[in-house]
Amino acid sequence: MTKTDRLPFQFEKTIEVFSFQIDPSGKLRWSALADMMQEVAWKHADSRDFGQKLFELGLMWVLSRFEIKVHQMPSWGDKIIIKTAGRGIHKLFALREFLVEDVHGNILAEAMSAWLLLDIKSKRPLRPAQALPSELFNPNPDETLNPEKIVVGELNETGTFIRVRYSDLDMNNHVNNVSYIRWVEDFCFEKELPFSDLLINYVSEATLGEEIELMFNRSNENTYIVGICKGRQVFSVKLLNKD
């Protein structure tokens, strides 16, 4: 998709890459990029009263699928523009797109995400149309925009074990979705598995003290990683390998 093919974006924010967000090569970390995107999403949601205000109504947004494609990671000190927009409602998913540009308009990264609206007490999903401005979220979107559901074959290698720490938790006492991306980023660095695209499915919640086993399998094109806790799948990841 080219810039001219894209629908207009509804909200944007200019952000500087700080020293605590970079990796040893001086580039922005994947987890920091994901953090930035989601913070811009919250700013957009709050500006139209479907962000933090929903907590007062006993509702919360939960990220279900997130696909990030990086063309060029920004460096320490760079200023980047993160744009976002609602891209419709597909079944129970509210779709949101992101675009990251440098100050010259060059595309650095792009992403698509799918969110569920949950009742905080019952954890049951609700139809997102009841909370979203209709002019921002088309009820009949292009279904191909929804990030794919990952189908994982046989995983023949155990990667590592991760214990959920206090610093992994969000305000709902569940693992923050960016923590999973940080785990994957660390794991791939340790295993020397470079990648350029990341697709993650959040399958079930993980809580403080739980131990998650990372299983993986690598082919010529993709690496698959699955987090398993007490026999249940917590998350799955599909990476596009990078030479």
Cα–Cα dist 206/212, whole Å:
8
> Nearest Cα to 212, choosing from 237, 192, 240, 239?
237
Quick one: 186 and 115 in the same domain? no
Quick one: 34 and 103 in the same domain? yes
pTM recorded for the entire structure: 0.93
Quick one: 8 and 48 in the same domain? yes
Residue 150 placed within a domain: no
Last residue of a domain, one of 145, 176, 203: 145
Quick one: 164 and 138 in the same domain? no
Task: Write the single-letter amino acid at 119.
Answer: D
Residue 151 placed within a domain: no
Quick one: 95 and 10 in the same domain? yes
How confident is the model at residue 73, as a pLDDT? 97
Last residue of a domain, one of 119, 145, 171: 145
> Nearest Cα to 192, choosing from 213, 155, 218, 161?
218
Instruction: Put residue 122 in one of left, alpha, beta given phi > 0 → left and psi -120 to 50 → alpha.
Output: alpha
Residue 192 placed within a domain: yes
How confident is the model at residue 131, as a pLDDT? 79
Q: 78: which DSSP letter?
A: -
Quick one: 214 and 128 in the same domain? no
- Read off the CATH number of the domain in which 165 is found: 3.10.129.10
How confident is the model at residue 3, as a pLDDT? 52
Inter-residue contact 66 to 199 (CB < 8 Å): yes
Quick one: 66 and 91 in the same domain? yes
Quick one: 211 and 136 in the same domain? no
Quick one: 95 and 176 in the same domain? no
The residues that bridge with 233 in the sheet, in sequence order, are 228
Please name the residue ranges forming H helices in the chain. Answer: 30-47, 53-56, 177-190
Quick one: 78 and 183 in the same domain? no
> Nearest Cα to 44, choosing from 105, 15, 86?
86
Residue 204 placed within a domain: yes
Residue 152 placed within a domain: no
Give me the number of domains the chain comprises.
2
Last residue of a domain, one of 120, 145, 170: 145
Cα–Cα dist 178/194, whole Å:
18
Quick one: 163 and 140 in the same domain? no
Cα–Cα dist 50/173, whole Å:
21
Residue 213 placed within a domain: yes
Q: 9: which DSSP letter?
A: P
How confident is the model at residue 4, as a pLDDT? 44
pLDDT tens, residue order, the chain (243 aa): 545 467 899 999 999 999 999 999 999 999 999 999 999 999 998 888 877 788 888 888 899 999 999 999 999 999 999 999 999 898 899 999 999 999 999 999 999 999 999 998 898 998 988 878 777 777 767 888 999 999 988 887 788 999 999 999 998 888 999 999 999 999 999 999 999 999 999 999 999 999 999 999 998 999 999 999 999 999 999 999 997
Inter-residue contact 224 to 155 (CB < 8 Å): yes
Residue 110 placed within a domain: yes
Full residue range of the structural domain in which residue 125 is found: 3-145
What DSSP string describes 150-175?
P------EEEEEEE--GGGB-TTSSB
Quick one: 135 and 165 in the same domain? no
Chain length of the chain: 243
Query: Residue holding tokens 């995983």?
Result: 155
